[in-house]
């Protein structure tokens, strides 16, 4: 059964100010729980999908900001003064950073679960950004676009969110200097980021993750939070559904025993770290409709 975490990296909050991503995910939890058994779409989704929700990755930062404004940045950092979204091992550079306890906890979580699809929620812009955030000449960084082997899937995922959002799809930036066609962007094309959670999930976690920037103002007033939930509700549900794209199955031996750690990849889509089966021999490959050769066998989806 596909398992999809919605794992936002949240920042900070004051007395009457809240971080948008955290509030949206608390609303999402409530919506899923109260809709189960009443809404057939949500009931079917929950019956067939394992969903993990982490409203806050950085509780220190969330509590640190007492008098925030739209652009206040203290909430980016944990108690040790580290930005957790620059704190993951990087696939393209030796960033030699000291892994923070919060980062290590998330890395352990990713290692111990078979996550397939995820998103992390931020503020400061209005766009769906997809991997890679960093890169090298092989990924196309010299041309200003760092392309992953699954670039078509990532574009689809970003468009799915943007097109179901109340306004993200319009591509209007937060100021005249920043516009995003269709409301999406390749992370590297926007700005190079080293040590980000998005690339880490994809490279080492076998998990397709995108970054959702959901508000121009990082700390909007409390009375605006209901609208942010309404703007993102449909997009979140449609995004979660995408975990069922592609092919999934189990690798077993001749006696039907699961084979863990077997490489299962589509031809032409070799990953930095080869995608392998989990302890139950299960594999999940997010692919768009088409014909693929997977480990020598032709598959049409």
User: Residue 89: CA atoms inside 13 Å, Cβ hemisphere, count?
Assistant: 10
Strands in the chain per DSSP E: 3-6, 50-53, 117-122, 125-130, 184-186, 208-215, 247-250, 282-285, 291-294, 297-300
> How far from chain centre, in Å, is Cα 142?
25
| Catalytic site residue from 23, 82, 213, 282 | 213
> How far from chain centre, in Å, is Cα 12?
20
Secondary structure class of 60 (helix, strand, coil): helix
Q: Could you tell me which residues are beta bridge partners of residue 291?
A: 300
Q: How many CB atoms lie within 10 A of CB 222?
A: 13
Give me the numbers of helices (H) and strands (E) for the chain, helices first please: 8, 10
213 tagged catalytic: yes
Residues taking part in catalysis: 213
């Amino acid at each position: 059964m596909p398992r999809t975490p919605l794992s936002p990296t949240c920042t900070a909050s004051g007395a009457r100010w809240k971080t948008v991503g955290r509030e949206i995910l608390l609303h999402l939890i409530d919506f899923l729980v109260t809709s189960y058994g009443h809404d057939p779409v949500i009931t079917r989704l929950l019956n067939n999908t394992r969903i993990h929700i982490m409203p806050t990755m950085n509780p220190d930062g969330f509590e640190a900001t007492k008098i925030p404004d739209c652009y206040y940045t203290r909430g980016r950092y944990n108690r040790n003064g580290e930005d957790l979204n620059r704190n993951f091992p990087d696939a393209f550079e030796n960033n030699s950073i000291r892994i923070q306890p919060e980062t290590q906890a998330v890395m352990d979580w990713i290692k111990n679960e078979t996550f397939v699809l995820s998103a992390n929620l931020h503020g400061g812009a209005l766009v769906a950004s997809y991997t890679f955030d960093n890169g090298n000449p092989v990924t196309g960084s010299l041309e200003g676009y760092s392309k992953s082997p699954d670039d078509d899937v990532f574009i689809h995922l970003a468009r799915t969110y943007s097109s179901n959002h109340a306004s993200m799809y319009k591509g209007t930036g937060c100021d005249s200097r920043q516009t995003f066609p269709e409301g999406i962007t390749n992370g590297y094309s926007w700005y190079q980021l080293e040590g980000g959670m998005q690339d880490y999930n994809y490279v080492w976690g076998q998990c397709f993750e995108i970054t959702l920037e959901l508000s121009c103002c990082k700390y909007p007033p409390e009375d605006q939070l209901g609208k942010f939930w309404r703007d993102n509700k449909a997009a979140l549900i449609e995004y979660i559904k995408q975990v069922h794209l592609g092919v999934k199955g189990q690798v077993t031996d001749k006696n039907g025993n699961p084979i863990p750690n077997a490489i299962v990849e589509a031809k032409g889509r070799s990953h930095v770290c080869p995608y392998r089966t989990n302890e139950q021999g299960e594999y999940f490959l997010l692919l768009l409709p088409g014909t693929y050769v997977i480990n020598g066998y032709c598959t049409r989806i």
